[in-house]
Amino acid sequence: MIRDYNMKEYKKNAFRQSKHRGEIASRVRVPGGKIDSQSLMRVVEIAEKYGNGTINITSRQGFEIPHIRIEDRDKVNEELQLIIENTGVNQEEAGKGYPASGTRNVGACPGSDLCPFACYDTKEMAAKIDKMIYPNNHHVKIACTGCSNDCAHVRLNDFGIIGQTEPQYDPDRCIGCEQCVQYCSKRSVGALSVVNGKIIRDTNKCIGCGVCVNYCPTRAWTRSKEKYFRLELLGRTGKKNPRMAGDFLKWADEESILKMIKNTYEYLDKYLDMAAVEAKEHIGYIVDRTGVEEFLKYAMKDVELGPKCEMAGRIYWEGKRYDQTNELRKSMYRFSGREE
């Protein structure tokens, strides 16, 4: 017989409700998607011992172990302890599993530990952010990507962090092959040009991707010692009005971005509508309700942007828009020979 249980309590313990009566699924938090082999084997052990031997890899780079019987929750929490400790996730009480589920797993691309195009260690950044914000039950999505290729799809997140480098040019090492110019045009934004035999970088156009560094055969181009970031704000998926994140900062420093993220939780404490379904009102809708100026008043508190940092005067978000009588619709009807 299945005894009564409080699903809200289970959700706060990072278990997901199942469509199968008497079963739940354990959500395993993996900051940055980086997990050691010992912990990965433990995920498999839990799935085989308490589930049905299957594991779901979530879209946010964590794991979900389905088909766990409700009465086995405490046993599963005890076995999760190894994973929690090895992944460095904050915990309130050992052996009791995850203390919250709201703030989603911080995602990251492979980063500079593996990818030659990455401008920073995304996994390290994700772990640092996770330590700062977790545990917390606010519904916030954060992702890190090493360069403007955006392999981590950070523009679908509340905070999307894109790595940048300020390319350093040494004319004495340059042989004038113009390979950097060609690849910047092919694989980036065409910020390089040749003027009187010298390579010129358009600082207004350059996005700091580092393509010139990767394709220079003589290392005339190198990465800056300083690490910079572009910050994209308040992208979202969902039923209501999905939209891409908007550009907010470029050439920002790490400390400023971390402060903004931390400050945002004070904003949520103030304005979250507790009457919303399970208090999971998405941050983007809260900003729509309070106005972006109020959000930035909280987010930018005590943030001192570096001298190179540029801030958008306005943030432009693109949501879905449909017009029943627009010109494109009329043209399509005319082309098909139909009447509206």
> Could you tell me if 287 and 249 lie in one domain?
yes
Question: Among 24-28, 135-139, 270-274, whose mean pLDDT is lowest?
Answer: 270-274
* 42 DSSP 8-state letter: H
> Could you tell me if 233 and 270 lie in one domain?
yes
Question: Is residue 1 pLDDT above 70, yes or no?
Answer: no
> Could you tell me if 13 and 155 lie in one domain?
no
Residue 96, in any domain of the structure: no
> Could you tell me if 194 and 233 lie in one domain?
no
Residue 270, in any domain of the structure: yes
Count the alpha carbons within 13 Å of 313 in the hemisphere toward its beta carbon: 0
Question: Among 119-123, 221-225, 278-282, whose mean pLDDT is lowest?
Answer: 278-282
> Could you tell me if 303 and 238 lie in one domain?
yes
Residue 194, in any domain of the structure: yes
> Could you tell me if 43 and 125 lie in one domain?
no
> Could you tell me if 195 and 306 lie in one domain?
no
> Could you tell me if 231 and 133 lie in one domain?
yes
19-38 burial: b if 16+ Cβ within 10 Å, else e: eeeebbbbbbbbbbbbbeee
Q: Quote the pTM value.
A: 0.88
> Could you tell me which residues are beta bridge partners of residue 94?
none
Residue 38, in any domain of the structure: yes
CATH code: domain of residue 12 = 3.30.70.3340
pLDDT band at 282 (very low <50, low <70, confident <90, very high): confident
Can you tell me the mean pLDDT for 177-186?
Answer: 94
Question: Among 4-13, 30-39, 50-59, whose mean pLDDT is lowest?
Answer: 4-13
Which of 179, 204, 222 is a domain's end point?
A: 222
Residue 125, in any domain of the structure: yes
Give the span between the Cα atoms of 42 and 187, in whole angstroms. 41
Residue 338, in any domain of the structure: no
Question: Is residue 257 pLDDT above 60, yes or no?
Answer: yes
Residue 21, in any domain of the structure: yes
Percent of the chain predicted with pLDDT > 70: 89
pLDDT digits (tens, 9 = 90+) for 101-118: 767 899 999 999 999 999
Can you tell me the mean pLDDT for 163-189?
Answer: 94
> Could you tell me if 179 and 118 lie in one domain?
no
> Could you tell me if 207 and 268 lie in one domain?
no
pLDDT digits (tens, 9 = 90+) for 210-236: 999 999 999 999 999 999 999 999 998
Residue 334, in any domain of the structure: no
Can you tell me the mean pLDDT for 172-190?
Answer: 93
pLDDT digits (tens, 9 = 90+) for 295-332: 999 999 999 999 999 999 888 887 665 555 566 556 65
Q: How many domains does the chain have?
A: 3
Which of 222, 240, 265 is a domain's end point?
A: 222
Residue 109, pLDDT score: 96
Place of tokens 């996005």: 207
Question: Is residue 333 pLDDT above 60, yes or no?
Answer: no
CATH code: domain of residue 276 = 3.30.413.10
Q: Among residues 304, 321, 198, which one has the least CA distance to residue 256?
A: 304
> Could you tell me if 139 and 191 lie in one domain?
no
CATH code: domain of residue 177 = 3.30.70.20
Q: What is the mean pLDDT of the chain?
A: 89
In the structure encoding, which two tokens stand for residue 64, read together?
Answer: 């979900």
| Torsion of Cα atoms, 330 then 332 then 334 then 337, to 10° | -140
**Full domain range(s) for residue 64:** 7-86
Question: Is residue 274 pLDDT above 70, yes or no?
Answer: no
> Could you tell me if 249 and 198 lie in one domain?
no
